[in-house]
Chains A and B, each alone.
Chain A
Amino acid sequence: MNAAIPLIDSDLVGTTGARHGAMGYLTDTTLCIGCKACEVACKQWNQLPMDNLEWTGYSYDNTKDLSATTWRHVAFIEQLDGTNGHSPGVMPPFQSNWLMMSDICKHCVKAGCLEACPTGAIIRTEFDTVVIQQDICNGCGYCVPSCPFGVPDLSASDHKAHKCTLCYDRMVDDLEPACSKACPTDSIQFGPIDELMQRAERRVAELHQRGVKSAYIYGDRAVGGTQGIDGLNCFFILTAEPEVYNLPAYPELPQDKVGSAWLATLGAAFAIGAVAVAALRGR
């Protein structure tokens, strides 16, 4: 895997591109203890059923990824094989050698799922979050492959698309979303994006200073938020490459391709038309 992601534009660092007043999450994986309280709190609040009962052997991760019924998912990556295959006794401070990361819908500043949705079921709320309206969704499933992060999924029981709502129903009542509320170590921090981004920058600087040189923000415009997505309203502090956590390094907004794809198709249509005219021309 590629060792470093060069910064594309240093001016972009530290801004998610979110609208003012946008709410979201900073998930600081260096504070995550992998307790999965967030996963359970989400299921409890949203009354989501269990996925399945499959023991995976994937470290302590048995739910594997986000799904129609798992809107928070905690990944576990064991990375202990340092010196001669033994776990190193002394480690960089904060989460190390066994990475845990609580994944969630990124509530993209420009969201692939939202742009894809042909029914308008997916909307952007007053909190700048991305929510699927269950009374509109007709289960076309187009949002599913249109999300560069693999978030929404069709439910096998009601056949509609589901994903995190950023607890819209709690936010409108001035309640903190369930998962961050449950997080014991404040690994998940909820708040206005501008504030969170400042906090994230400070935290990354602090981590660098304390020897966690690999820490960075995933989801500002610089990393994991360019190429049209323009930042994530749920961003992360990570200490390894995005791929380690099963995140794409440079995801792109699929709909940005629509224009040029149509142009190319138009060109092809002309060419084909010309060929057809040539071939079918009457003699």
Chain B
Amino acid sequence: MTTRYERTWDNRRKQSKQTPADESANGARSVTDQTRASYYGVPVIHKPHWKWLIIVYFFVGGISGASYVLASIAHLVGGKDAGRIVRAGRYLSLAALLPSPILLILDLGRPERFHHMLYILKLRSTMSVGTWILTIFSGFCGLSALIQAAEDGLLSRIGFANRLLLALPAKAIGAIGSLFGFGMSGYTGILIAATAVPFWAKNYRLMGPLFLTSALSNASAAITLTLSLARGTSHSTLQRLEHLDMLAAIGELTLLIMARRNLGPVIARPLREGSLGNIYRWGVLGVGITAPLALLSLTRLKPHAAPRLLAGISAALTLIGGFLFRYVFVMAGRASADDPQATYEFTRRERPLG
């Protein structure tokens, strides 16, 4: 028995840079021609069914988690001045959280069986872990929002509860809840990275950080936007947020560039080609990152030139970009799953796993 498989093919398969044969079926192309580059362009793996519900969930879920984190951090280190940020963060977090389970359940093939996920925890199943993160985080998020409500005097009518809530260690709750908040905004990246989809899996180490950073930037922007619309927000509060916005955008941009380089030309094809490529270039990078960065730099240069308006616009652009980022990444994953070349590329070489 040979200890080493010598594998030589005389099957005349040519190294080919053609696009899958299906795409250009002109000329007298034979059946054989159609299998030169791939198996008739049929996907090697199955793409997930995820579309709008999941894209929206990724967006709001990320905001929910990151707002909570920001609110908690602001509560911990922000001093008195940060009250508005804390309040906005906590409420936003809850507001963004509320649709999340609904979106997720609606996305199930059998929504009535959503609870089947709650009888089991599988650490290597990010969907399972994510479900539990969401569940637990909901508790913290709700609790913190209630505390905020109590602080805001909204619950004074139910006196007992009001007192109880005010007596709770809000900072500690926020600190622990933040761990789950991070989880909330980061697990989605891992969820999609831990699949066979080349576009996601190729960058498995970057997807969590990317989603996290993007969530932070979105949450920060959401808070900025809210506060910029609200009357009486102090300039310094806004400045702090703008600062954060900028750092997040820079971080996101760095990660995106790293990710893009790591993908290589074949797997990154959806980012390069077609409408998805355009949305990525103009929407995510342009509207979502470059434009806000420019606007924010502008506010830096001219500190008093209508900062509120600029901050608001830049935040809104960031949010749009954040949404588009998720849209592009989900759809690009689907597209790369459909592209046999991407899968071949992804699975061609033996790669040590970290």
A residues whose Cβ falls under 8 Å from a Cβ of B? 1-8, 10, 13-14, 56-59, 61, 64-65, 75, 77-82, 112, 115-121, 136-142, 144-155, 158-161, 201, 204-205, 208, 213-214, 216, 222-223, 226-228, 240-241, 243-252, 254-258, 260-262, 264-265, 267-269, 271-273, 275-277, 279-283
A150, closest chain B residue (CB): B45
Question: Does B216 reach chain A (CB closer than 8 Å)?
Answer: yes
**Cα-based distance from A80 to B31 in the complex (angstroms):** 10
In the assembled complex, how far is the CB of residue B325 from the closest CB belonging to chain A, in whole angstroms?
16
User: Which residue of chain A lies nearest to B79 when distances are taken between CB atoms in the complex?
Assistant: A282
Q: Can you report 20 residue pairs joining A to B where beta carbons are below 8 Å apart?
A: A1-B15, A1-B16, A3-B9, A118-B131, A138-B111, A140-B127, A144-B46, A145-B45, A145-B197, A160-B110, A240-B11, A243-B340, A249-B344, A250-B349, A252-B353, A254-B201, A257-B194, A265-B212, A280-B78, A281-B77
**Contact code string B60-93 (vs A, CB < 8 Å = 1, else 0):** 0000000001100110111111100100000000
C-alpha gap A267/B108 in the complex (Å): 31
- Structural contact, A272 and B213, CB atoms closer than 8 A: yes
Instruction: Establish whether residues A4 and B7, one from each chain, have CB atoms under 8 Å apart when the complex forms.
Output: yes
Q: In whole angstroms, how far apart are the Cα atoms of A241 and B201 in the complex?
A: 23
Q: Shortest CB–CB separation between residue A137 and chain B, in angstroms?
A: 7
Cβ-based interface call for B157 (8 A): no
Q: Chain A: which residue is nearest B48 at the CB level? A: A145
Which one of B117-125, B283-291, B303-311 is at the interface?
Answer: B117-125
* B residues contacting the other copy or chain, number (CB 8 A): 107
**CB neighbours of A82 from chain B (8 A):** 12
Expressed in whole angstroms, the Cα–Cα distance for A273 and B205 within the complex equals 18
What is the 8 Å Cβ interface bit string for chain B, positions 103-120, against chain A (1 contact, 0 not)?
Answer: 000011111011011011
- For B354, the chain A residues whose CB sits under 8 A away are 260
Known contacts A8-B350, A244-B39; A258/B126 CB under 8 A:
yes
**In the complex, A1→B343 CA distance in Å?**
12
Binary contact track B211-251/A, C-beta < 8 Å → 1, others 0: 01100100000000000000000001000110110011001
Q: Is the CB of A159 within 8 A of B109?
A: yes
> Which 7 A-B pairs have CB atoms at the shortest separation, nearest pair first?
A139-B109, A282-B79, A265-B208, A159-B109, A268-B209, A138-B113, A248-B347
Residues of B with Cβ closer than 8 Å to A? 1-13, 15-16, 30-32, 34-35, 38-40, 42-50, 69-70, 73-74, 76-82, 85, 107-111, 113-114, 116-117, 119-120, 122-128, 131, 178, 182, 186-187, 189-197, 201, 204-209, 212-213, 216, 236, 240-241, 243-244, 247-248, 251, 333, 337, 340, 343-344, 346-351, 353-354
Known: A59-B31, A214-B10, A250-B351. A137 touches B110 (CB 8 A): yes
A160 B32 Cβ-Cβ under 8 A: no
Let me know if A121 and B196 touch, CB within 8 A: no
**Contact between chains at A214 and B9 (CB < 8 Å):** yes
Give the contacting residue for A272; candidates B47, B192, B212; CB below 8 A: B212
Q: Which residues of A contact B74 (CB under 8 A)?
A: 280
| A205→B3 CA distance, assembly (Å) | 11
Q: How far apart are the CA atoms of A160 and B39 in the complex, in Å?
A: 27
Q: How many Å lie between the Cα of A153 and that of B47 in the bound state?
A: 9
Q: How far is the CA of A2 from the CA of B346 in the complex (A)?
A: 13
Within the complex, the shortest CB–CB distance from B153 to chain A, in Å, comes to 23
A118-B117 contact, Cβ under 8 Å, with A138-B109, A160-B109, A277-B77? yes
Closest to A92 in B: B10
Give complex CA distance A78, B209 in Å.
45
A141, B50: Cβ atoms closer than 8 Å: yes
Taking a contact as CB atoms under 8 Å apart, the answer to whether A148 and B196 are in contact is yes
A58 partner residues in chain B, CB cutoff 8 A: 31, 34, 40, 42
Q: A216-B5, A247-B44 are in contact. Are A264 and B244 (CB under 8 A)?
A: no
Among B3, B31, B81, which residue has its beta carbon within 8 angstroms of that of A78? B31
- A240 touches which of B9, B49, B131 (Cβ 8 Å): B9
Q: How many A-B residue pairs have CB under 8 A?
A: 326
Question: How far does the Cβ of B157 sit from chain A's closest Cβ, in whole Å?
Answer: 32
Contact A142 B127 (CB under 8 A): yes
Chain A residues with Cβ below 8 Å from B348 are: 2, 249-250
When the two chains form the complex, which single residue of B70, B125, B351 contacts A117, counting CB atoms closer than 8 Å?
B125
Contact B35 A77 (CB under 8 A): yes
Q: Name which residue of chain B comes closest to A155, CB basis.
A: B109
Determine the chain B residues whose CB is within 8 A of the CB of A227 once the complex forms: 350-351, 353
Partner of A4, one of B8, B44, B70, B193: B8
Which residues of the other chain, B, contact A273 by a CB distance below 8 angstroms? 69, 73, 178, 182
Which of A5, A223, A262 gathers the greatest number of chain B CB atoms within 10 Å?
A262
Q: Are B39 and A255 in contact (CB under 8 A)?
A: no
**Nearest CB to that of B34 among chain A residues?**
A58
A44 to B166 CA separation, bound complex (whole angstroms): 65
Q: A264-B208, A273-B73, A281-B78 are in contact. Are A149 and B7 (CB under 8 A)?
A: no
CA distance A6 to B108 in the complex (A): 42
Contact A276-B70, Cβ < 8 Å, known A77-B39, A248-B344, A268-B186: yes
Q: Which residues does chain A contribute within 8 Å of B114, judged by CB atoms?
A: 138
CA of A273 to CA of B111, assembled, Å: 35
By the criterion CB–CB under 8 Å, are B196 and A251 in contact?
A: yes
Contacts of B119 in A (CB 8 A): 119-120
| A56 pairs with B1, CB closer than 8 A | no
Q: How far is the CB of A90 from chain B (nearest CB, A)?
A: 13
Question: Smallest Cβ distance from B217 to chain A, in angstroms?
Answer: 10
Q: What's the Cα separation between A262 and B189 when bound, in Å?
A: 10
| Contact among B42, B45, B125, B204 for A115, CB-based, below 8 A | B125
Q: Are A223 and B5 in contact (CB under 8 A)?
A: yes
